Chain A
Amino acid sequence: MSGAATARTRVGESFEAGFIGAPSRRLFAVRRAGPAPAAAFVLCPPFFHEQFLSYRLLSLTAARLAARGIASLRFDYFGSGDSWGSEADFSLAGAIADTETALAELAARLPGVPLRLLGARAGAWPAATVAARHGLPLWLWQPLPDGAEWLRELDARDAAERASRLRYPFLGRQPRPAEPDRLLAAFCPPALREELAGVRLAEATRGAAGVVVVDAEHAPALPGAARTLRLPAAAAAWHEEITMQATFVTPAIAACIDALADDVDGAAA
């Protein structure tokens, strides 16, 4: 990790945060590793507002896996989170390139350690693409199967939020006007919409070495998944409200994380 970074030890794990990648495309990344990790994964976060809604959950997931001997590198896509760039710089192709950067960084840091990818929600798309390219195992956390369908959901939520008197108590009789090229709070111009609308997760995962999915109890199964771990509705609902809340690791979530760690143990056996 180049540039100013921070390193420390938390109960047997090393934690390092800083920037990776080329000077023109600096990505914020957090690396966690226990001593002699059995495996390591790159974590691709969700897109748009779901990135901050999921942050604590995914940070705690990485910490729990580190305690099981599985190292990780989490990062923010260029133009999102703590990474450099403005929101106008974000694209799906860029997110895939950033995932490659993160994978190369992790491989350089942990030579010889088996690698895999974890994608959460829309982060499943860059994670699946890169896992398929390299023939690596893939974990998916509540993955979005279809980009066009997700855009329709976001459009509907955008309209609902603008008309919501819970969000805008002083709203008159008309909803707040839509903002050009915005989807909820995120900048989403036509070129990005087109990229997202073309995503089919089942196609993107072809070539990955083995796919394990963590998903809500009633979510449809992903074709080709080797295994699906189920979350109760309450543990899967974190993305449904845009608030200041965070999701923490409940026993049901912990069981899924531990099952992912067992998946690594099984592969090693």
Chain B
Amino acid sequence: MIEESAHDFGGGLFGVLTRPAERARRVAVVLLNAGFIHRVGPFRLHVDVARELAALGFAVLRVDEPGIGDAPPKRGPDDVAAVRRAFDRLGELAGADRFVVGGLCSAADRAWKVALADARVVGALLLDGYVRRGGYWYRLGQMQLLFGRGVGAFATLWRQFSRPRDAADDAALRDWPTPEQARSGLARLVERGVRVFALYTGGAATYFTHPRQFEATYGAAAHAAGVRFEHWREADHLFLQQRDRARLIDAIRAWCDEEFR
């Protein structure tokens, strides 16, 4: 049996809490907004994840951050403080004192910052989060894309390959660390014992085309025992097909169950 309830966390944060009817685990999960999609997630992904994890004993909060869904308009730049206040309230509501935070795309970007800022974070779920675009492995991945599509796609891909970067590329739209900050940041998280699940989809191919980019970006910490990395090149950025969503939900459930007992 699980229960669900709506909560206003103040500071512009609104959310729905899913939790087991019995006492929840001390580790709670907070799912942040994927872009401007409200707390249900793309195609109800967050609802399904929350209910699966609640069945395992986790309390799961699906939030609307300021300016999204039913939350009031954004008033300040401090996204991290709003999420940390939600941690405080989750402690009162669900008895949690440690947190897994994460989500897809911009949610991964904010989860990264929250994980670095708050020692209560023990897990980070980073779906299509940051890696450094460019370099040998990225270019090799682009070439593999080219050959996978056949000769007919050569002209299109060549334009992508050779085009100058413009202000509308991913780095301009996302809240990303510098490569140096990324490398030192993951090392700090690993040192703290934070578990990281970094998953990249084929939909991130504008900046991620080859699995070796992960190590090239994050260095030795990419191979730490607490860091799980996967590249699902056949999936799209929003997990539109049910087969991809089901696979993702299974992977998140298994990761949480193994890492946060």
Contact = CB atoms under 8 A, between A and B. Distances in A.
B245 to A, nearest CB: 8
Contact of A30 (B43, B70, B148, B237): B70
Interface in A70-92: 80-82, 84, 87
A157 to B, nearest CB: 11
B40 A52 contact: yes
B233 A82 contact: no
Interface stretch (A3-11, A147-155, A212-220, A227-235): A3-11
B70 A17 contact: yes
A109 interface: no
Contacts, number: 117
Given A56-B69, A169-B205, A170-B202, A243 B35 contact: yes
A193 interface: no
A82 B44 CA distance: 8
Interface residues of B, number: 44
B185 interface: no
A4 B6 contact: yes
Interface residues of A, number: 44
Interface of A: 3-6, 8, 10, 15, 17-19, 28, 30, 49, 52, 55-56, 59, 80-82, 84, 87, 161-162, 165, 167-173, 176, 179, 182, 184-187, 242-246
Given A82-B40, A244-B238, A246-B36, 11 more contacts: A6-B14, A17-B6, A56-B69, A82-B39, A82-B47, A84-B4, A169-B203, A170-B202, A171-B149, A242-B240, A244-B34
Interface of B: 3-8, 14, 16, 34-44, 47, 68-70, 72, 105-106, 145, 148-150, 153, 202-203, 205, 233-234, 236-238, 240-243, 245
